[in-house]
Structure 1
Amino acid sequence: MMSLRVSICLQEYHPRDAARSIVDPPTLHINISFSSFYEFFAAIGFASTVMSPPRGLAIIAGFGPGISLGLARRFARSYDLVVLGRSLNALSSTAVGSTSPTSATHPDALAELLADANLASLSPPPKVTALIADVSNTDSITQAFAEIKKLNQPVVAALYNVSAPFTRKPFLEAETSEYVTAFNSSVMGAVLFSQQVLPLLIAAAPGAQLSPSLIFTGATASYKANAQMSVFTTGKWALRSLAQSLAREFAPEGVHVATVNIDGIVDMPKTKGYLNEFPDQKISPGDVAETYWDLHAQRRSAWTWEVDVRPWLEKW
């Protein structure tokens, strides 16, 4: 925060006083505060010629084909991106266009994103930084956010799209380790990610054009626990309760926390063989990304914290 002190002399001037020295005339002091140098220059009309505000940053955890790729394409129309993933298939930083020395995560999805002609035609085109990060590991996620902070850009959107493997198994046959894995991905990862990103979202709130947003990806299992789904649904229910608690706690800070429940099969390479009898039987990543964007763009007088998304023929 910077401040400017303006002093206005209240002395009434008369020509006969021109040659007379006036000692300590009454003065009005006005203190004006600005959240940034850009806001100061904008107030005095020089913002466009002196400096530009830093471009907003959207962070996507759990990057890969499907919903994450759809989210990246949508949010890159307005922001630079950081995508986080656990993949060890490295890509060079030059290929990614990143300032980070190490960049890697789902190279096929990342290559598809970088080759998107619609994004390349934007002026300026979005920058994409891809980082290896295990969101359920404290050291890994801390290191990733240390790299993010070096970008020195306001974080205005954080999208948590990490999920445990879909598991359908009788309860008495499920291994304890499967519950731990599901809990770490769905819950501990979300906790560690939120601990890192929420201070950045709060810092970006003053003067932001759209409310800084933290949006979680849920599932049908977030609110409906079917038989033999205890491994998967335990983590999803916990994630939903975390999202609701954070939404209540951080709304007064100007941060919009929401969750999107995916109720249906997502149209992506590994689901190409399913539900092809009718058009739009599967959830389009591009279409569902618009729902996330709509949540981000909501005015704070009418925020939504939970949305269900399903195809028109999905039974529910």
Structure 2
Amino acid sequence: MHPTTRLFTVALHLNTMSKPIAIIAGVGPGTGAAVARKFALSYPVALLSRNPATYDPIVADINKSGGKAIGISTDVSDLKSVKAMVEKVKEEYGNDVKCAAAVFNASGAFVRKPFLELTGENMDSSYAGSVKGSFNFAQATLPLLLASTSTSPHPPSLIFTGATASVKGSASFAAFATMKFSLRAMAQSLAREFGPKGVHIAHAVIDGVIDIPRTKEWDLGEGGED
């Protein structure tokens, strides 16, 4: 590598380390990818998912486009995995890394069944990814968000993605609605605690079937392709 190129690379890396970052949990081909690309326009990003195959193409695309992205295999329902994620973030962006935004887009298992057909395993899998996962993620990222309140031009933000099921439990959606109601409740509580400390907490209801491989087989009736 030419000395000038090496110097530019080092300078770029140091500049990246000094900027606040965005951490997005639940990055896949739909909402997570869109959120990741949006934040990558302004910040270095850390993209989290259990399966690297879901974030690898997005990381590559962001880096190819001139942004800075890393992917970290993380199970948000596992506290050890979340703590390891924070250590990897610090390895990449520095021990004094600050966070401009953290987005929890992960979810527990989507289960749609008549209530009397639900099992304890169904409820546990819904709880683990959404309720326990959001708890672990919020505890891990809030210290990084609080650290940037004095220097960030915008209020550091912790954002949870919800659904209509966060406010309305439909028939056969008991497991899904329960985890989404819980997520909204956590967001409300954190907003009242951390809003006065300078961290903006938001719960965003995002609905609609997204055109991704998993939904191709869904019967949406007339006009499904649109």
Q: How high is the TM-score relative to the length of structure 1?
A: 0.61
| Residues 112 and 193 of structure 1: CA distance in aligned 2, closer, same or farther (over 3 Å) | closer
Which structure has the highest strand share of the two? 1
* Structure-2 residue corresponding to 1:250: 194
> What displacement does 1:157 show?
0.6
Alpha-carbon distance in structure 2 between the residues aligned to 1:270 and 1:138? 28
Q: 2:118 aligns with which of 171, 174, 191?
A: 174
Q: How high is the TM-score relative to the length of structure 2?
A: 0.84
Alpha-carbon distance in structure 2 between the residues aligned to 1:185 and 1:278? 29
Q: 1:106 aligns with which of 23, 40, 53?
A: 53
After TM superposition, list the pairs within 5 Å mapping 1:192-211 onto structure 2. Answer: 192-211=136-155
After TM superposition, list the pairs within 5 Å mapping 1:188-227 onto structure 2. Answer: 188-227=132-171
**In the alignment, residue 144 of structure 1 is paired with which amino acid?**
M
Alpha-carbon distance in structure 1 between the residues aligned to 2:35 and 2:56? 12
What is the Cα-based RMSD across aligned positions, in Å?
A: 2.1
> What displacement does 1:112 show?
4.4
Alpha-carbon distance in structure 1 between the residues aligned to 2:224 and 2:216? 13
User: Is the aligned partner of 1:277 residue 2:218?
Assistant: no
User: Is the aligned partner of 1:140 residue 2:84?
Assistant: no
* Structure-2 residue corresponding to 1:11: none
* Structure-2 residue corresponding to 1:67: 31
After TM superposition, list the pairs within 5 Å mapping 1:126-165 onto structure 2. Answer: 126-150=67-91, 151-152=93-94, 153-165=97-109
- Percent identity over the alignment is 40
If asked which structure has higher relative contact order (CA below 8 Å, sep 6+), I would say 2
Alpha-carbon distance in structure 1 between the residues aligned to 2:27 and 2:84? 17
After TM superposition, list the pairs within 5 Å mapping 1:30-49 onto structure 2. Answer: none
- Matched residue SS, 1:189: helix
- Matched residue SS, 1:167: coil
Alpha-carbon distance in structure 2 between the residues aligned to 1:76 and 1:113? 10
> What displacement does 1:217 show?
0.8
> What displacement does 1:160 show?
0.3
Which structure has the highest helix share of the two? 2
Alpha-carbon distance in structure 2 between the residues aligned to 1:112 and 1:79? 15
- Matched residue SS, 1:193: helix
Alpha-carbon distance in structure 2 between the residues aligned to 1:214 and 1:251? 10
Q: Is the 8 A contact 1:64 1:110 kept in 2?
A: no
Larger Rg: 1
> May I ask how many residue pairs the two structures share in their alignment?
207
> What displacement does 1:269 show?
2.8
Partner deviation per Cα, 1:195-214 (whole Å, 9 max, x = no partner): 11001100011021111110
* Structure-2 residue corresponding to 1:293: none
* Structure-2 residue corresponding to 1:54: 18
